[in-house]
Amino acid sequence: MATDCIFCRIAAGEIPAGIVYQDETVVAFRDIHPQAPVHLLVVPREHVASVDDLSEAHAALAGRLLTAVPKVVAEVGGMDNGYRVIANTGPDAGQTVHHLHLHVLGGRALGEGLVA
């Protein structure tokens, strides 16, 4: 755990965050600045700064992160017609928290553009 990382602290239960799903590898919670009616963040408990920092050693972690998404969606509901999964990497993509995380957006038609 990176003690200065807010997502590490949320995953450790040190900061309340509206958690909607968790298991031994992944924690999912509601985004505090939602960009869609349903906007969730899915983060690994292990601190990895971004997609750029994933290596072969993280293959199982990356798989667990992705396979948690349908579980989170089923748990929260409201996305029966689909949802979008985004991983921002680096400043030009808008990554503001340097802990790997997936944005899961849904609850309305998002259109064909890449952003909500």
Q: Which residues are catalytic?
A: 101
Alpha-carbon distances, residue 42 vs 25, 85, 112 (angstroms)? 10, 10, 23
Separation CA 43–CA 19 (nearest Å): 11
What distance in Å separates the CA atoms of residue 70 and residue 74, rounded to the nearest whole number? Answer: 6
Could you tell me whether strands 38-44 and 26-30 are parallel, antiparallel, or unpaired per DSSP bridges?
Answer: antiparallel
